[in-house]
Chains A and B, each alone.
Chain A
């Protein structure tokens, strides 16, 4: 029993541990200053935006301070060219979470839709996530300290919130990618609390049917 728990803990805590071991990335030489050394990142942002609508399978691991193992969600994400992010959860429960300019909306397996009431902190986090999805560096730099590093065709961006509402709900946001594809999103609250979304093979330039738009967006 103990070995099984240890194995699970090692497996699932690895992403957070890796993100925690990032002091070498969060250093002055990797800092991105808008208008000074952001040119390569703007190229990447332009390439990401050129993907248009994107869909990809994802696995979301939620790390909780009071739970020894993370809660694992799987599903399919859809990112519209307009910047709305739709997470269609398949397990453990079928449900939908939509993050767009109007806020966060939830839809359960029975089709019941609920809008999540706004909260300054939640709004800050939602807005940040949307800016990340759009790779809007100018907007992001207003709320975050930006750090980035390339290693061959892989790259990693770290967003450290500036003091304010956002910093109370988010300690660090890390985006990892390969070529012009985002592979992992990590939103960390503390060493033991955070969300890691691992993104699978993405389809780009997807044309969403009207039915898909109705079902997964608003």
Chain B
């Protein structure tokens, strides 16, 4: 092909690629496409139902809660100021629900509902329990009324000997069965945590309408809160606000990640330029490598955003390191001198094609395997890097095809060759071998989802202080009970309660689900009511005998007669009723699908996590963080498996392409560097996570390039080409800078890759010195 035509075609392809890529990226809605939500790292269709529920609970429910505490010096602010604050929030389109905790209207509404509907919601369970107790006495069924009347009066007596009975005195004439006091006792701790009972604060609970991880769930919400505070201050100027919400953390995290990317890239760029200044004779010519990196990144972005509906921001943070790998092909192609002054580009490319394609395609095969990971982040990273590498190699070949003289001259800093060098090099290799063999056995893993974010110390302290005001300080265990239908979920809750109260007798569980009867108890209610037709007649004398004035309980007797005369509502109608009345924080404690679909109840218990509930209770402990951490452990194991398969394929392809002897040498460099790096981390006691694993994989692919690129020179007993040195140093510095990131996983990634790359470079550089024959001559520049 004519050089002019070759240039034209190369430029045309690059132009079309840039145009199509830019068009695709410009039409994207980045707010929807890119996620900053940690929960998005978990697959939507996570196979473990409990983790799927935790994901939904964390993302859809709890993450939207705002906790706002208003104060006025050392006192609670005036009620008018609190109302103005809450009303302002209610008017904001960004807020879906607002509740002033401890407000008597809400509590009165709930109290009135429970009292008025006590025979629908509470009586079925009471009757079922009493009937079970009666049945265990072995007395004839005809005596049920008499037995129940005596037991009711006895229980009333017992209740009145308790200190807190004074609070229910007015209620008892209407409720001698103690339905409401029993419920209050059972759900006491739920009431305390949502009562807003801090004397010097007024507590406001709210739910934001949009996801706290989206733009709509952040700045507009912050504006609404500011506006509400201004309205409160118009009434009482000294009102102060402390508040917390996931959107504060999300906004802060986003801002910090942006700042982090900015300074990391700047530091990385300075490092790369420094290396280039040191090694390259004509610095401006380095600019020819920039298009390779840019097109590679463009290709990675386009393919990833095409393949995935939603991409996590961490993919781009980690993926920006792709530049370190992509530039390798540019360096290799650009720094190889022509064999003769008139060697055409196509000829030069032809002799470099094998190592170039071998290096690229084996790495792509390795990363492509990550697409089969369960973890979206790993899948996305696999696609991002694979697409980026293919783009990089293609663009490098095309870009240098349209240059008149595609050669970058370098300064030679080859280590001096001396026969005595091997006396230093060999012990060094032996030491490295010991580290690589012994160290990995001392590795231990710690998977912590919090390492994905920059620790926001002040926000965390504020969050803890506000949550303490809302009563979240005490140590509690949360359980989630689920079922295919609301009725099945409630039945499971009953089984779980029985198990839990036997397991933790001093810390009974509390659930909003206790307000709802089981379907079995509901069905039994009608039968038992018929059997208790004469219950009022039996109860009157029983009360009288125990010193009560039976006529004082006329409100109860009247309600009982009304109940027997009324038609029973459908069981499913109870779900609608309970959802209507349990709003605010209590509304987050259950999910009842009105169409009869999957439902769940959250149960709280005042004890540290202990025994796990048996499977038949359909319940699991919701230590959310631990659940997500264990999920990450599982994904780490999956990724490790895929990485091993990927590396085996890379190794196998090298043996096929280069034969056994050269294959061993090529494979030893990435494998040895990786084991040495992991061994060193193990000996230093550094706990590893999923991201160390990904870093090791990336590091192996990079060092694999150096091994292949130096293979040809090694065969000729020549020192490695200078492109490897520059490439490894720039990559090592780029990743080394990441070791200073405040995001723990990025720091882990950077330090691991840098360690592997520098080790691989040392192996490539020192290996010829350690050999008995040494190398012949440095390659021509």
Contacts and interface: CB of A to CB of B under 8 A. Distances in A.
A93 B161 contact: yes
Contacts of B553: 66
B506 A111 contact: yes
Interface stretch (B127-135, B163-171, B275-283, B710-718): B163-171
Contacts of A89: 163
A118 B196 contact: yes
A71 to B, nearest CB: 5
A93 B549 contact: no
A89 B547 CA distance: 22
Given A114-B188, A115-B192, A120-B104, A106 B164 contact: yes
B191 A117 contact: yes
Interface stretch (A30-38, A40-48, A95-103): A95-103
Contacts of B197: 103, 115, 117-118
A198 interface: no
B48 to A, nearest CB: 34
B163 A87 contact: yes
Given A102-B199, A116-B167, A119-B104, A62 B160 contact: yes
B82 to A, nearest CB: 13
B189 interface: yes
Interface in A200-215: none
Contacts of B164: 97, 106, 116
A95 B159 CA distance: 13
Of the candidates B102, B161, B167, the one having the most CB atoms from chain A within 10 angstroms of its own CB is B161
A66 B169 CA distance: 9
A206 B552 CA distance: 45
Contacts of A111: 506
Contact of B162 (A95, A101, A119): A95
Q: For this complex, into which size category does the number of interface residues on chain B fall?
A: 20 to 34
Interface in B546-590: 547-549, 552-553
B401 to A, nearest CB: 78
Contact of B195 (A73, A95, A117): A117
A92 B191 contact: no
A65 B160 CA distance: 13
Nearest to A5: B547
Contacts of A66: 172-173, 548-549, 552-553
Nearest to B549: A66
Contacts of B507: 112
A195 B166 contact: yes
A94 to B, nearest CB: 11
A64 interface: yes
B163 A97 contact: yes
Contacts of B172: 64, 66
Given A87-B163, A193-B169, A67 B188 contact: no
A68 interface: yes
Contacts of B189: 114
A71 B161 contact: yes
A6 B166 CA distance: 25
Nearest to B157: A71
Interface string B177-199: 00000000000110110011101
Nearest to B508: A112
B547 A67 contact: yes
Of the candidates B188, B197, B506, the one having the most CB atoms from chain A within 10 angstroms of its own CB is B197
Interface residues of A, number: 33
A105 B107 CA distance: 20
Contacts of A101: 199
Nearest to A103: B197
Interface in B188-232: 188-189, 191-192, 195-197, 199
B506 A112 contact: yes
Interface in A67-90: 67-69, 71, 73, 87, 89
A92 B160 CA distance: 10
B195 to A, nearest CB: 4
Contacts of A106: 163-164
Contacts of B167: 116, 122
A218 interface: no
Contacts of B549: 66-68
Contacts of A117: 188, 191-192, 195, 197
A110 interface: yes
A112 B162 CA distance: 14
A92 B161 contact: yes
Contacts of B191: 117
A160 to B, nearest CB: 21
Interface string B508-550: 0000000000000000000000000000000000000001110
B548 A68 contact: yes
A64 B192 contact: no
- 6 closest cross-chain pairs (CB), A and B: A66-B552, A118-B197, A92-B161, A117-B195, A117-B191, A97-B163
Given A64-B172, A101-B199, 14 more contacts: A62-B166, A65-B552, A66-B549, A67-B547, A69-B547, A73-B163, A93-B162, A95-B163, A97-B163, A102-B199, A112-B507, A117-B197, A119-B104, A122-B167
5 contacts: A66-B549, A89-B163, A92-B161, A116-B167, A117-B188
Interface of A: 62, 64-69, 71, 73, 87, 89, 92-93, 95, 97, 101-103, 106, 110-112, 114-120, 122, 189, 193, 195
Interface of B: 102, 104, 107, 160-164, 166-167, 169, 172-173, 188-189, 191-192, 195-197, 199, 506-507, 547-549, 552-553
